[in-house]
Amino acid sequence: MKEKPVVGIATDGAHSAKERLTRFRAVDLSSGKELFSKAIGNWTNNIGEFLGIVEAVRYVMEHPESPRTIYSDSITAITWYCNKQTASSRRCPALQKAEIFLKVMEARIKDI
């Protein structure tokens, strides 16, 4: 069994069909401190997971002392991040901004 990481940033997204609300957040694994938490409206879990990763990258860029390793349990969101493009048919403004951010900042985020 793999050991649980103790240094880095863990991101997670969630969608509640009942509340019609998608959220994402990130936690610093070494301190347990929540770094950010955002609600983005009625989208999908995959969109929340992806935006959580992108927001964590922004956080690392703004806080150079923070860990540069980001963890996610979403293969879909990780794939979208690596491709710098989503495969979602839902077009929310935050998703489009995230895709543009990743493409524009590609050189600066290679090591995150």
Enclosing domain of residue 16: 9-104
Give the whole-angstrom CA distance, residue 48 versus residue 95: 9
Q: Per the domain annotation, does 1 fall within a domain? A: no
pLDDT at 101: 98
Q: What is the pTM of this model?
A: 0.95
Q: Which residues, in sequence order, are bridge partners of residue 38?
A: 24
Q: Does 30 fall in a domain?
A: yes
| Structural domain includes residue 110 | no
Mean pLDDT per 10-residue segment, the chain (112 residues): 90 98 98 98 97 98 96 98 93 93 95 88
pLDDT of residue 1: 74
Per the listing, tokens 């540069």 go with 68
Angle between helices 45-62 and 75-83 (to 10 degrees): 60
**CATH number of the domain to which 82 belongs:** 3.30.420.10
Examine residue 3 and state whether it is found in any structural domain, yes or no.
no
What's the number of domains the chain is made of? Answer: 1
Is 2 domain-assigned?
A: no
Within a domain: 52: yes
